[in-house]
């Protein structure tokens, strides 16, 4: 059974109101030939992190189009997620000591899951490395399999990538979030941007009363600037670096810092990183470290909307959905120039990019002293997300790919 999020369905007409009838007509036309054909999506967590966030919205939207789509989560125990988190870090470029036992654990869990997952669907979409070896269950030439990679593969640790590539190269195609992540592969590669749902609880408009109430609950002062980073407590999100940047800014502005993060069942390092963050924060009453439940979309929405500036100081990043979420809310964003972030932050147009603690602090100070520029960046950012990173566009891209795969045999 999947630990599910309580997702609300949104009628297609509501998207038509926001994005125009044409957008929905295109979706309907692409969906029509795929009705009645089974589409299976598999990842490794139902809540927590960007992939679950997207699937939680993509599936109900596809169902609104009468598609037979199902989402299942790979089951694993602690030893599996320890291995896959180490793989994740290694694929993002971290040093890794290859231990044959780890590869065995990875393969054993994939094999166990093959017995229970419905891998005979006509289209199987596998998300990220954790379930990549499920491809072993594919009878040759029987159905279509694609691999959707959400992580930055530009400088992978080769011990892990060489192992993974043997599976990836047996798919019909691979989808990456940025052109820089493409690898030398024998299969076709596609650029697939992640996307946000403007009508989800994470992104809908909120009453100012609810926002104020949220701030009160977390003892955040409405009267002073609020800098916010929303992220799982993960070293690659550099929460400690955010605190260091805040400390520099604090010498010049009486501001507050909110670091809010929940966990994800497939990320075993959260508790340890949270400890490091608490140690770094010390006793500063203006640093609020909020441990959110893995599924708390309205709280995240309220915190993003209440922020003066949203920060995403990642050291590595697949895409960084939190950036698009903040831009959609017209927030000025200061973010690291890593992974998929520069697709979202066009420097000095939709936000500001930085490369270090000092750079992050510098850009925050600049925005705090130029509120009119900050507001303009937020406006431009909203438009950029509307044009490029919304869930309807993403579903269209999926449907086009499935139709294309279908014609190929
Ligand atoms: N998120 C959340 N609660 C948290 C931390 C993150 O709901 O405490 C959400 C965040 O709003 C975004 C997603 O999880 O939708 C994180 O996606 P992103 O691509 O930024 O990072 P990932 O966690 O996938 O590396």
DSSP 279-335: HHHTT-TTEEEEE--S--HHHHHHHHHH-SEEEE--SS-S--HHHHHHHHTT--EEE
Mean pLDDT of 184-194: 94
Gap between the Cα atoms of 111 and 115, Å rounded: 7
The helix, strand and coil proportions of the chain, stated in percent and rounded to the nearest 5, come to 45, 15, 40
Query: Strand 173-176 relative to strand 144-148: parallel, antiparallel, unpaired?
Result: parallel
Tell me which H or E stretch contains 166.
Answer: helix 158-168
Tell me which H or E stretch contains 21.
Answer: helix 21-31
Q: For the segment 342-377, what is each residue's pLDDT rounded down to a tens digit? A: 999 999 999 999 999 999 999 999 999 999 999 999
Ligand 1 near 263 CB (within 6 A):
no
Gyration radius of the chain's alpha carbons: 21
Ligand 1 near 322 CB (within 6 A):
yes
Q: For the segment 214-249, what is each residue's pLDDT rounded down to a tens digit? A: 999 999 999 999 999 999 999 999 999 999 999 999
Say yes or no to pLDDT of 1 above 70.
Answer: no
How high is the pLDDT of residue 263?
Answer: 76
Pocket test for ligand 1, best of 322, 344, 345 (most atoms within 8 A of CB): 322
Report how far apart, in Å, the C-alpha atoms of 342 and of each of 226, 266, 322, 363 are: 23, 27, 13, 15
How high is the pLDDT of residue 4?
Answer: 61
23-26 contacts at long range (C-beta below 8 A, 24 or more positions apart): 23/392, 24/392, 26/396
Mean pLDDT of 5-23: 90
Q: Rounded to the nearest whole angstrom, what is the distance from the C-alpha of residue 141 to the centroid of ligand 1?
A: 36
How high is the pLDDT of residue 239?
Answer: 98
Gap between the Cα atoms of 244 and 230, Å rounded: 16
Say yes or no to pLDDT of 308 above 90.
Answer: yes
Question: In ligand 1, which atom is closest to the CA atom of 196?
Answer: 15
How high is the pLDDT of residue 408?
Answer: 55
Ligand 1 near 320 CB (within 6 A):
yes
Q: Rounded to the nearest whole angstrom, what is the distance from the C-alpha of residue 408 to the centroid of ligand 1?
A: 36
What does the block give as tokens for 383?
Answer: 């438009």
How high is the pLDDT of residue 9?
Answer: 85
Q: Which residue is closest in CA terms to ligand 1's atom 11?
A: 322
What does the block give as tokens for 157?
Answer: 């640790």
Ligand 1 near 232 CB (within 6 A):
yes
Gap between the Cα atoms of 22 and 388, Å rounded: 16
Gap between the Cα atoms of 160 and 158, Å rounded: 5
Gap between the Cα atoms of 378 and 187, Å rounded: 39
Ligand 1 near 50 CB (within 6 A):
yes
Q: For the segment 58-102, what is each residue's pLDDT rounded down to a tens digit? A: 999 999 999 999 999 999 999 999 999 999 999 999 999 889 999
Mean pLDDT of 144-150: 97
Mean pLDDT across the chain: 95
DSSP state of 33: G
Backbone angles phi, psi at 304, to 5 degrees: -65, -45
Looking at the chain, the number of H-run helices and the number of E-run strands are 15, 12
Mean pLDDT of 13-42: 96
Question: In ligand 1, which atom is closest to the CA atom of 312?
Answer: 20
Report how far apart, in Å, the C-alpha atoms of 270 and of each of 92, 109, 178, 264 are: 17, 22, 26, 8
How high is the pLDDT of residue 294?
Answer: 84
Q: Tokens 């600049």, residue? A: 366
Q: Tokens 């979420």, residue? A: 325
Question: Which residues is 126 bridged to in the sheet?
Answer: 42, 147
Our CA dihedral for 354, 357, 358, 364, rounded to 10 degrees, sits at: 60
* Residue 312 near residue 304, CB atoms below 8 Å: no
Say yes or no to pLDDT of 3 above 60.
Answer: no
Say yes or no to pLDDT of 409 above 70.
Answer: no
Question: In ligand 1, which atom is closest to the CA atom of 264?
Answer: 23
pLDDT band at residue 266 under the 50/70/90 scheme:
confident
Say yes or no to pLDDT of 138 above 60.
Answer: yes
Question: In ligand 1, which atom is closest to the CA atom of 263?
Answer: 8
């Amino acid at each position: 059974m999947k630990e599910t999020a309580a997702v609300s369905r949104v009628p297609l007409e509501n998207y038509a109101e926001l994005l125009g009838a044409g957008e929905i007509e295109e979706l309907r036309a692409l969906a029509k030939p795929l009705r009645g054909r089974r589409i299976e999506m598999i990842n490794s967590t139902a809540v927590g992190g960007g992939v679950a966030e997207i699937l939680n919205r993509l599936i109900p939207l596809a169902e609104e189009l009468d598609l037979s789509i199902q989402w299942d989560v790979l089951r694993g125990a602690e030893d599996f997620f320890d291995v896959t988190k180490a793989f994740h870090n290694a694929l993002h470029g971290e040093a890794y000591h290859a231990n044959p036992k780890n590869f065995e654990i990875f393969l054993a869990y994939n094999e166990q899951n093959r017995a229970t997952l419905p891998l005979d669907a006509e289209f199987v979409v596998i998300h990220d490395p954790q379930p990549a070896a499920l491809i072993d269950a594919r009878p040759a030439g029987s159905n279509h399999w694609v691999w959707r990679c959400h992580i930055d593969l530009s400088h992978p640790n080769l011990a892990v990538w060489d192992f993974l590539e043997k599976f990836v190269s047996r798919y019909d195609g691979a989808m990456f979030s940025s052109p820089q992540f493409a690898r030398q592969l024998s299969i076709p590669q596609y650029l697939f941007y992640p996307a946000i749902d403007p009508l989800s609880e994470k992104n809908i408009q909120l009453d100012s009363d609810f926002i104020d109430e949220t701030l009160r609950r977390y003892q955040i002062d409405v009267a002073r600037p609020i800098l916010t980073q929303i992220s799982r407590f993960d070293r690659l999100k550099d929460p400690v670096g955010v605190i260091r940047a805040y400390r520099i800014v604090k010498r010049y502005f009486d501001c507050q810092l909110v670091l809010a993060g929940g966990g994800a069942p497939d990320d075993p390092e959260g508790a340890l990183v949270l400890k490091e963050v608490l140690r770094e924060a010390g006793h500063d009453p203006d640093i609020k470290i909020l441990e959110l439940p893995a599924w708390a979309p309205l709280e995240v929405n309220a915190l993003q909307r209440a922020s003066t500036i949203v920060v995403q100081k990642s050291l590595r990043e697949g895409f960084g959905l939190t950036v698009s979420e903040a831009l959609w809310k017209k927030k000025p964003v200061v973010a690291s120039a890593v992974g998929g972030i520069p697709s979202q932050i066009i420097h000095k147009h939709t936000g500001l990019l930085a490369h270090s603690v000092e750079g992050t602090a510098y850009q925050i100070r600049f925005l705090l002293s130029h509120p009119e520029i900050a507001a303009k960046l937020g406006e431009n950012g909203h438009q950029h997300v509307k044009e490029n990173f919304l869930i309807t566009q993403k579903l269209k891209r999926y449907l086009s790919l499935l139709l294309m795969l279908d014609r190929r045999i």
